[in-house]
Amino acid sequence: MKTDVIVIGGGAAGMGAAIAAAKEGVKVTLIEREEKTGGILNQCIHNGFGLHYFKEELTGPEYAERLKKILREYDIDIITDFMVKEIKDKKVVGVFHDGVKEIEASSVVFTTGARERPFGALMIPGDRPSGIFTAGVVQKFINIENRFPGKRALVLGSGDIGLIMARRLTLEGVKVVGVVERMPYPGGLARNIRQCLEDFDIPLYLSSTVIEVRGKERLEEVVVAKVDEKFKPVLGTEKIFKVDTLVLSAGLLPMVILVSDFAVLNSTSKGLATSNIGQSSVEWLFGAGNCTVVYDLVDYVTVEGERAGKFAAIYAKGEKLSEKIPVDPGENVRVLHPRWYSKDDDLTIYARVSKPMEKGKLLVGNYEKTLLNAKPSEMIVLKVPARYLEGFERIRVSVKEA
């Protein structure tokens, strides 16, 4: 099977990429491992999506359906229930319902999203009872399968999905005894702290972490302790929570296993390193969405998917793209995307600071912007005019604390 552009992943980034590529007049094949497109949006029944992209507030399924409707306007070959096993030399090999299939293209857009950090990666000592779930699994249980994870829950990690599930569990009658965060500041957006915790009187324990889980067949107790500046537990601060459920919201990891052996990864985000047009270190491989960097908003995911899809199509048509100029993280920059700048399009910077600061100055090439109340949990999004980037062989992004 041959096509011009293959898009791997049918979530917010993949659908945006497929639409943008089809607008360029090339043949597009969209691959999705689930039964239908939409990705994680299909189980995110809360609102807050689409304010930037569609200019109105939508739930996750509503946002996905809007993109699906646009997909149907174009002659895009959509293949679902297709599990990709390998990417090699512009070919995608995967398992389909009738056996192994190989699809060849001129360019590939990688939009596989991110996965949750599992319990085993947290190195928490104790027993290994049932009742420990990632936040995404709990979300699927309640919103899709109508199943309750338990009766009393503690949430570890104050990322947005953990905050949202603390509220969701409370609304469904589960007692949420608290949210535990090892950093001295919350990991989620300020609006989610207000709407998901403060509005429901759910305690937030900062500078704290789980140091032990206890239980035989089912979780019975979780031990929480304060941590010092090096994140080591402080003896004598232990607190025992009687719960049957522990919900993990310990961060997302970009899904890059299919490309990690032949493409450069972003040292700050751990995702696929790409330029501002979505092109990776391999000229025919493009990437977008949470497999490149974990975004705050799905709206950004779709926009960057469109950008990658557009230039993947331009590449597939044989048009030459500009050379890539490195974009390097500097002082107080913990996460930075993209990692290269191509003059074929504007440079939009997505960055996270390494620590909270009341006032700072963001420096990108010759461009400066004042930042107020910058937080690691909230992504900085900045479009930099091309005139401020002229003459640079490398572009450095840094934040000077005022």
- The rounded mean pLDDT for the chain is 96
Residue 144, domain CATH: 3.50.50.60
Going by pLDDT thresholds of 50, 70 and 90, the confidence category of residue 97 is: confident
Same domain, yes or no: 242 and 134:
yes
Same domain, yes or no: 101 and 128:
no
Same domain, yes or no: 164 and 233:
yes
Strands 132-134 and 245-248: parallel
Q: Return all residues near 33 (Cβ < 8 A) that are at least 6 apart.
A: 80, 81, 82, 83, 84
pLDDT digits (tens, 9 = 90+) for 209-250: 999 999 999 999 999 999 999 999 999 999 999 999 999 999
Same domain, yes or no: 172 and 128:
yes
Instruction: Single out the residue in 276, 301, 321 at which a domain terminates.
Output: 321
Going by pLDDT thresholds of 50, 70 and 90, the confidence category of residue 1 is: confident
**CB-based contact 67:12 (threshold 8 Å):** yes
Instruction: Single out the residue in 189, 215, 250 at which a domain terminates.
Output: 250
**CB-based contact 243:218 (threshold 8 Å):** no
pLDDT digits (tens, 9 = 90+) for 115-136: 999 898 888 999 999 999 999 9
Amino acid identity of residue 95, one-letter, is V
Same domain, yes or no: 307 and 355:
no
Same domain, yes or no: 105 and 126:
no
Same domain, yes or no: 245 and 148:
yes
* Mean pLDDT, residues 322-344 taken together: 97
Burial code (b: 16+ CB inside 10 Å, e: under 16) for 204-242 equals bbbbbbbbbbebeeebbbbbbbbbeeeeebeeeeeeebe
**What span, in angstroms and rounded, lies between the C-alpha atoms of 261 and 32?**
22
Instruction: Single out the residue in 301, 321, 341 at which a domain terminates.
Output: 321
Q: What is the pLDDT of residue 96?
A: 85
Residue 402 belongs to domain spanning? 323-402
Nearest of 299, 298, 254, 302 to residue 280 by alpha carbon: 254
DSSP three-state, residue 344 = coil
Same domain, yes or no: 157 and 223:
yes
Number of H helices and E strands in the chain, helices first, is 6, 28
Total structural domains in the chain? 3
Q: Burial level of 178, CB count in 10 A (0-12/13-18/19+)?
A: buried
Position 189 pLDDT exceeds 90 = no
Going by pLDDT thresholds of 50, 70 and 90, the confidence category of residue 169 is: very high
Same domain, yes or no: 97 and 1:
yes
Same domain, yes or no: 213 and 269:
no
Position 6 pLDDT exceeds 90 = yes
**What span, in angstroms and rounded, lies between the C-alpha atoms of 105 and 316?**
8
Same domain, yes or no: 334 and 266:
no
**What span, in angstroms and rounded, lies between the C-alpha atoms of 174 and 205?**
19
Position 329 pLDDT exceeds 90 = yes
Same domain, yes or no: 106 and 127:
no
